[in-house]
């Protein structure tokens, strides 16, 4: 994999890392629970939604951090399952991908090797 491509990916991952951290900061950590029952209900609904969103963001944040670590380690773009290169188009779409397309399909369909 070309060094220029990896540098572009690193830049994209760093931007994504910053964006995710900012989004997490904006989510409420606890409901305000308004005065009326209706207000409290809406606050709880928003809080529950935020908990789900925050969990997804934290999982993506971890994946981005792992991808940046793989860049530093020199293993970025290598499938963690088979050891073959991950397709550049796949990495352009999902810069923190850990599996090549073939292995990802097998994982999705739970095909054993």
- What does the pLDDT look like over 12-35, one tens digit per residue? 999 999 999 999 988 766 655 556
Quickly count: other Cβ atoms within 10 Å of residue 20's Cβ. Answer: 20
CA atoms of 58 and 95, how far apart (whole Å): 16
**Residue 80 domain boundaries:** 3-108
**CB contact at 8 A, 6 and 76:** yes
- Sign of the CA dihedral with 13 first, then 5, 3, and 86 last: positive
Region 109-113: mean pLDDT is: 59
Count: domains in the chain: 1
Phi, psi of 85, deg, nearest 5: -65, 145
> What CATH number does the domain containing 9 carry?
1.20.120.910
Residue 75 lies in a domain: yes
Does residue 53 belong to any structural domain of this protein?
yes
Choice between 51 and 48, residue whose per-residue pLDDT is larger: 51
Other Cβ atoms within 10 Å of 69 Cβ, number? 11
The two three-digit tokens of residue 53, written as one number: 């969103």
């Amino acid at each position: 994999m070309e060094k220029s491509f990896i540098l572009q990916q690193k830049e994209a991952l760093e931007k994504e890392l910053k964006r995710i951290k900012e989004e997490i900061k904006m989510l409420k950590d606890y409901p305000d629970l308004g005065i009326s029952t209706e207000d409290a209900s809406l606050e709880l609904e928003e809080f529950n939604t935020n908990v789900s969103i925050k969990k997804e963001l934290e999982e993506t944040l971890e994946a981005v951090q792992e991808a940046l670590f793989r860049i530093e380690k020199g293993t970025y773009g290598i499938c963690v399952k088979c050891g073959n290169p991950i397709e550049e188009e796949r990495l352009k779409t999902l810069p923190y991908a850990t599996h090549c397309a073939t292995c990802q399909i097998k994982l999705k369909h739970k095909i054993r090797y």
